Structures are given as C-alpha cells and as structure tokens.
Structure 1
Amino acid sequence: MMNVNRWIARREPNWKQLDDLLTRIEKRGLRSLSTEEIKNLASLYRSVSADLARARTNQKLVGNTIVQDLQRLTSRGYSQVYQGSRKQEWKNAIEFYKWGLPEVVQETIAYSAIATGLFLLGGLIAWWFSWRDPQFLEMVVPEHLIRTVRDEGKLWMGSILGSEPTAASQIMTNNLSVTFRAAAGGMTLGIYTIVILFLNGLLIGSVGTLVAQNNLAFPFWAFVFPHGSLELPAIFFSGGAGLLIARGILFPGQYRRIDAIKVYSLKAAQLMFGVIPMLVIAGVIEGFFSPSPIVPAPLKYFAGIGLFVALVRYCSRKRTTQSA
C-alpha cells in the first residue's frame, strides 16, 4: 500500500523546483537559465511526468488536487521543453539565413569562384568551337533543340506553358539533382564536381551560340536571366561545396585528415542549406515567370538583374556588433 504522505513529502521538492524553473522561463525566457539548469529542467520534467502517472494510478489515495496540480505542472513543462526547443530551432534557422549563410559564402568564396571559373571555361570552349565547327553543336546540344531553333526558327520554352506547376516541380527536382551531385562529387577527390561544372558550362555555351547563330539570343537570354540569376549561383555554390570536401580529403593542412573532412564538409553542408531555397525560388520563376509571353522581355532582363544584385547584397552582409 502506497504511503501517500511520505511519497508527497519525498517528491514535493522536485515539483517545487520544476515550478520555480518554469516560472523563471515564463517571465524572462529560456536564456535566464544556465546550461545546468536547462539540463535539470528536462530531468525534472521526466521525473514529474512519472509522478503524475503514479498519482493517476493511485488517485483515490492521492486525491484530485494533487493530480490536477501535477497535470498543470507537466503541461507547462511540456510547453517549455518541447515547444520551446522547436521555437529555438526556428530562431536558429532564421539566424543562420540572416547572418550565418552570408558568412559561410564569404569564407568559402574562393571555392565558389573556382567552380564559376570551371563553368565559364566550358562555356568559352563551347562558344569557340561552335562558331568554327557546326558539327560540334550536334555533339553537345540535343537534336530536338537544334531542329526547333534551326529549322523552325523558334525557341522551345513554349512547351512549359499550360503545365506550369508540373514544369516547375520537374525543374526544381532536376536542379536539386545537379547541385547535390556537384557537392557529393567532392568525395571523388573533386573530379566528378569538376566534370559536372565543365559539362554544364559546355552545354550553356553551345546553346547560347546556337540561338545567337539563328538570331534568337535576345528572347533566349530574356528567358534565362530571371531564374538564372539564382540558379547559376546555386550551381556555383554547390560546386564550391564539392571542392571544399575535396580539399578536406586532399589537403588537410593543420588538421588530421578525418578532422579536415569534418570541418570542410560542415561548411559544404551549410552552403547547401543556402542552395536549396535558391533553387526552389528559381524553379518557380522558371516554371511561371520566365516562359510567360505576357511578360515583356525587357522586364525579364530587369527582374534577373534585380535578383542578382539582391543576391550579391545579401551574400555581402556582415554581422553587426548589435546582432552578434
């Protein structure tokens, strides 16, 4: 038989301690607690939850008042331990996208610049050979695109119209696949990352030459600018992420190799957290805005330039003293 008075006397200090901690959080926030007190809060919450379960089992002996008090206490504890941690996660995410991502971009800009250079190298090579050898285009550009541009004298983006949601979803999926493969390519000592960047540059350069040869450059780049202002930097960042991983494997420097891989892989992962929302936004623009015949071409150029300037300004942000 449970000795109610002895049980209450033994457990009541824990209830009081949990109540005090919760009251402080409710008045002054979680930051008012030390690290040890936060750990103690979680332990006390589990302990009081067990007490509530036992009190319910012996409710006739314990009484409704104790059960109700414990219910209120555990409800308050749940709100702070679980919902509070979720709020903190959201705060951390906001803080990362507000200040953390620009810092990572600035720290790793050399790797993204190398990735950009590899892409541009592919584009320049494609441009050089495409103007001099028509057969080069046929080796790089899909046949149906060449046929549409050369034979029909038009671009192929009109196929998106009427199926915008599906197209946007497919575009996002494809772009995410390319960027994740570019980042994961770092595990191949960066070789696969380099190949992806170079081949994508080769394709863009070849297509750009194809439309220029057929007097379709202006509408083509009007289509590319709005979403490309985010999509291409996302590819360069993911390429930089892959090169970071390769750096950790090949040139650990002051770190042990395993530690270098962890350090550089963390920065690569942070870059990829920035790439994902960029590609989602770019996919929506490419599916709905870029191919729209209603939007004038000059406005598309203006939108693309505006988005790129906004991205550069965002990535150039520096944490202020007040924000630290």
Structure 2
Amino acid sequence: MDLDAYVAAHLGEWRRLEELTRRRQLSGADSDELVERYQQVATHLSVVRTSAPDATVVAYLSSLLSRARSRASGTRTSTWRGVRRFFTDRFPAALYRLRWWWIGTLVANVVVTAVMIWWLLDHPAAEQSLLSQTEVRQLVEHDFEDYYSEYAASHFAAQVWVNNAWVAALCLALGVLGLPVIYLLFQNVANLAVIGSIMIRHDHGAHFFGLILPHGLLELTAVFVAAGVALNLFWSWVEPGPLTRAQSLAREGRTAGTVALGLVVVLLVSGLIEAFVTPSPLPTWARIGIGILAEAVFFAYVFVLGRDAHRRGHTGDLDSALLEDRVATQA
C-alpha cells in the first residue's frame, strides 16, 4: 500500500474528527458525526497497522481515537435517532428489496401445506400410523386448545417469542448452506399439516383455524421472511453477479443481520397476539380480524415505507461510511 497516498486521501477526515474533539459543545448532528468519524478512523488505523505499520501514523491515529472515544463517552449521542432510522429505512428497505425471495417462500409453503392437508385427509391410514386414537382424541379435545392457555399470558408470550426468534435465527444462521433451511421449513409445514388434517377430519376445522390464524398469519410470515432471506444468502455466493463471491456474501450477510434484528420486533408482536388474543374470550371473527390487521400492517410497512426507503437508496446494508475501508495496493 502507498502510505503517502493513503494519508493524503484521508487526512481531511482525520482533521475533521480532530476538530470535533476540540469543540466545547456539540450539537446532536455533531455528536452523530463524531461517532461515525470515530468508526471510520478506527478502520483507517486497522488498515495502516495491517498494510503499512508506520509508527508515526499509528501513534497519531491512536491518540486521535483516544480523544474521540473520551469525548463520545461524555456526549449524549442520538441513539434513538439511529433506532428510528433502522425501522424507517434499513429494515423496511431490506424487506422490500428481498420481497420476491420471502413472498415466493411464503406462497410455496402455503401451497405445500394445503396439498399435504388434502393428501392426509384423503389417506386416513396415514393419520393412524402417526398417532393412536387416544392421542388423536387428546389432541382434538384438549391439547391443541390448552396449549394457548396453559401458562400465564405474559410468560407464554415470552416463551413463544424466544422460540420463534430461535427458529428464525436458525434459518438465517444456516442460510449459507441452503438445504438445511428447506429442511426446517418442511418440518414446520409438515407439523402444521398433520395437526390441521386431524382437526378437520374430526370436525374441528373451524376451531383449528380460529386458534391458528390470529397469531399465525404474522408469525409464519416472519418465519418465511427469515427463510427467504436465508435462501437469498445461499444464492449470493452461488450466483454473485458483478461482485466477487466474498463481497456478495458479505453484503447479503449484513442485510440478513438487519432482517434478523427487525424480526425480533415482528415476532414479539405475534407472540403478544398469541398469548393475549388467541386464547381470549373474543368472538372468533374478532380474533381473526386482529390477526388479519396485523398482517396488513406488516405488508403496508414493507410496500409503502419499504418501497419509499428503497427508492431513496437504502438496501438494508450498512451505510457506506461504516463499511470496511478499501485501499489501493501497489502491484
């Protein structure tokens, strides 16, 4: 690396950070810039140490970062502004950009579930090979409904939230491999199809849909979003396009991290619905209506807020200022 050229290219940014550390008072915008400049210069220091460890430059940048860190720790930074930007820009833009991946996953799983339920209803012997008559009766008359009211609502909400977040995180974690995600999805829809076919066969279809739809619409959508984004992560290294495989995988990996964080909130909402609405004494139409409303709000979030954020240049990836610094190297 040409150290002189690198210093010349970034000296203005270093001096700007130095100027911010010397100001007696910082506005909210200045505080945000101080944090961003600190992250940039920290990357610069890492590059210098790795590629051209000049003692003078390393000492200067280390001292500058130390002063900036001390100033940042004593400054009220706009944390809530960053949170707001995440939920108004990054997360919805990621959902919108990758919409065909997770919508395709959603549609495919709904079709597979419907076909499996239809097949199971047409082959009653399959049910008998899975569960005994006693187990079927227990499921239909007690277990399915009791599941939603067995624990206190607040504890149940936390349990559901953690479980669903784990399933979504597992999909994203295994996404780079591809096939494990499909296996997880199949397990999920097979379980749903078996229970659904048993309930329908024993004239409890309305009961089944009345309990599963209020929370299941949003909950399953979140799982399908995680799976769709995970499959996109797999495809990013299979077909990287104009990027190198490493660059493509890194970009989609960062976007998957954005989606994972956002889905924590989505699954929290579905968990609250499952704990407080699904087992409530509200009429079935009201409970299902709440589920449909939650699902409609999610799709509006994606296709209104997400489309607008995407048009403004957001992709779900980190801001370019926070990405790894790229330097020219000599042959």
- Contact 2:94-2:255 within 8 A present in 1 as well: yes
Cα 1:212/1:256, change in 2 over 3 Å = same
* 1:118-197 alignment, distance < 5 Å: 118-138=108-128, 146-150=136-140, 152=141, 156-161=144-149, 163-164=151-152, 165-188=154-177, 190-197=178-185
Aligned to 1:113: 103
Deviations along 1:138-195, whole A, 9 cap, x unmatched? Answer: 5567987623245x4x56222442522332232222212211222222232x101111
Query: Structure 1: where are the runs of 5+ without partners?
Result: 1-16, 49-76
Report the secondary structure of 1:156's partner residue.
helix
Aligned to 1:96: 86
Report the secondary structure of 2:274's partner residue.
helix
CA–CA separation in structure 2 for the residues paired with 1:182 and 1:305 = 25
CA–CA separation in structure 2 for the residues paired with 1:19 and 1:102 = 34
Aligned to 2:324: none
Deviations along 1:84-110, whole A, 9 cap, x unmatched? Answer: 47x334322211112221111110011
- Highest CA radius of gyration, 1 or 2? 1
CA–CA separation in structure 2 for the residues paired with 1:148 and 1:95 = 49
Cα 1:111/1:158, change in 2 over 3 Å = same
Give the partner amino acid of 1:163.
Y
Q: Which of 255, 259, 266 matches 1:267?
A: 255
User: Alignment identity in percent?
Assistant: 19
Cα 1:47/1:265, change in 2 over 3 Å = closer
- Contact 1:211-1:220 within 8 A present in 2 as well: yes
CA–CA separation in structure 1 for the residues paired with 2:65 and 2:298 = 45
Deviations along 1:47-89, whole A, 9 cap, x unmatched? Answer: 69xxxxxxxxxxxxxxxxxxxxxxxxxxxx96x612647x334
Aligned to 2:24: 22
Question: What root-mean-square deviation, in Å, do the aligned CA atoms of Structure 1 and Structure 2 show?
Answer: 3.5
- Contact 1:155-1:220 within 8 A present in 2 as well: no
1:228 equivalent in alignment to 2:216: yes
Give the partner amino acid of 1:101.
F
CA–CA separation in structure 2 for the residues paired with 1:217 and 1:149 = 13
Cα 1:268/1:142, change in 2 over 3 Å = farther
- Contact 1:121-1:198 within 8 A present in 2 as well: no
Give the partner amino acid of 2:295.
F
1:277 equivalent in alignment to 2:268: no
1:310 equivalent in alignment to 2:297: yes
CA–CA separation in structure 2 for the residues paired with 1:104 and 1:204 = 28
CA–CA separation in structure 2 for the residues paired with 1:322 and 1:241 = 21
Deviations along 1:8-60, whole A, 9 cap, x unmatched? Answer: xxxxxxxxx7796133x2497536879779979x9579569xxxxxxxxxxxx
Aligned to 2:191: 203
Q: Which moved more, 1:283-292 or 1:227-236?
A: 283-292
